[in-house]
Amino acid sequence: MKIGDKIPEVLGIDANGREIKAADFAGKKLVLYFYPKDNTPGCTAEACSFRDHYDTMREAGYEIVGVSKDSAASHTKFADKFQLPFTLIADTETTLNQAFGVWQKKKMAGREYMGTVRTTFIINEEGIVEDIITKVDTKNSATQILNNK
């Protein structure tokens, strides 16, 4: 996905087994953020930033959806543990990760593997990608978006 692209209609399945569609967010701005793994320090900081600024984000017209390849059960535990008020998509087959181009080869400790590159997509009310944040400030991810609008 790049700026100007329309997002897919079917985004995936949330932690409750409900299908999440682009149409669910028609008329609203959508923050679709991709993160590597539930319960890791950076991913937790990012989710908690969105949680802590959730009301402000909604007042500014944004809905928030997080995406990782973790299972629905993992998402449920993660959301419960940190009281996350927004949807988490369980992209276990990496379908959405691949559609958005964030499933990429990564390197850590000298080994290469495929994984999610932390990326935030800002999508307008018509389902068009308006902005892409690749240098995500995990502790300040919400204010990073709010200060850029």
* Catalytic center residues: 43
Alpha-carbon distance of 130 to 32, in angstroms, equals: 11
* β strands within the chain, DSSP E: 10-13, 19-21, 29-34, 62-68, 87-90, 103-108, 111-116, 119-123, 129-133
Instruction: Give the pairing of strands 119-123 and 129-133.
Output: antiparallel
Q: Provide the b/e sequence for 39-60 (b: ≥16 CB within 10 Å).
A: eeeebbebbbbbbebbeebeee
Are 125 and 27 a contacting pair, CB within 8 Å? yes
